[in-house]
Amino acid sequence: MSEQTVTVRCVPAAPCWVSLMARDLTAAQAFYGPLLGWAFQDGLHGFGPYVRAVLDGVEVAGIGATEGQWQPPVAWTTYFGTESADDTAARIRERGGTVAIGPLPFDAGRMVLASDLSGAAFGIWEGDLGCNTWVRSPGAPVWIELRTGDPFEAALFYGEVFRWDERKPDRFEVRYENERVVLRAEQRSVAALRRAEDVGAHWEVFFSVTDTDLAVRRAVELGGSAEGAAVDTPYGRVARLRDSEGGLFSVITPV
C-alpha cells in the first residue's frame, strides 16, 4: 500500500462501502471530521438521520444515527458489492449465516445486513451508490480486516457466499500471507481475515493517515481512546482506536 491518491473502481464480492451506526450524529461528525479531514453531506437512510463523509469531493463513508428506543452498539459495518442481493442473501442462509435485514431498496440500490458463522456483522450492496470509487488517500478506508477465532472457516464461508474462487484470477485473488487470508481485487489488497481472540468476531475498518502516532493523539484530544500502543505491521504502522462513543476502528500509515 502507499499514500498516493488513487481512485479504484469497486468490484462485486469486494468491500465497497463502510458505514458507522452512532448514537449521536453530531458527536460522530465532531470526532471523525477533524480526525480524518471529512466534510459531510446529508444522505438517505431508512433507520434515522444519515450523512455521507466526503473527502476531496468523493464520498468515502457513511454515518447514521438511530431514532427511538432501539440503540444498537456503536460500530462500523463493512459492505461488500454484489451482482444480486437476493442470490447473495440466499447463499448466506444456505451456509449457516444469518440475514438480519433485507434485501431492502435504498437510494439507487438494494441492501442486506447479515452476520457470518461467528456472528461478525457485514453488509451487502447491490447497485451503484457506494460502489463507484474507493479513494486511496489519507482519511479514506484502505483496509478491512475480519478478526475471528477461525479465519480459515470464515474464508470458506465468505468464499462460497461471494464465489471468490469463480472470479477471474487476474482481477480477483485470495492468498495466505503474513498470517492472514488476504483478498486482492484488481491487483490491490483490500481485505484480510486473521485469527484474533481478544474481542468478539468483527470486521474492522482501517482508515489511512499520514502519521499514525499523531492520529492517536488527535483522537484522544477529540474524546476517543487508544486500544494499546501503535505497532508496525507488514502493511504499515497501525493503531486501534475507539471514537467518542466507543466505536472501534483502526488507523494505518500505509507502506
Mean pLDDT by 10 residues, the chain (255 residues): 42 86 94 97 74 89 79 88 93 96 81 94 79 67 93 93 85 87 83 85 95 98 96 94 96 91
Task: Give the pLDDT of residue 244.
Answer: 96
Fold of 6-254: 2,3-Dihydroxybiphenyl 1,2-Dioxygenase; domain 1 (3.10.180)
| Cβ-contact 76, 146 below 8 angstroms | no
Torsion of the alpha carbons at 211, 61, 136 and 217, rounded to the nearest 10: 0
Scanning the structure block, which residue is given the C-alpha cell 477471474?
A: 168
Sorted by where each begins, the domain ranges of the chain are 6-254
Task: Give the pLDDT of residue 69.
Answer: 64
Task: Give the pLDDT of residue 139.
Answer: 94
Task: Give the pLDDT of residue 66.
Answer: 76
Name the packing angle between helices 25-36 and 212-221 (round to 10°). 150
Task: Give the pLDDT of residue 65.
Answer: 87
Cell of 153: 472457516
**Backbone phi and psi for residue 90, each to the nearest 5 degrees, phi listed first:** -65, -40
Q: Write down the pTM of the prediction.
A: 0.89
Scanning the structure block, which residue is given the C-alpha cell 500509515?
A: 253
Task: Give the pLDDT of residue 47.
Answer: 61
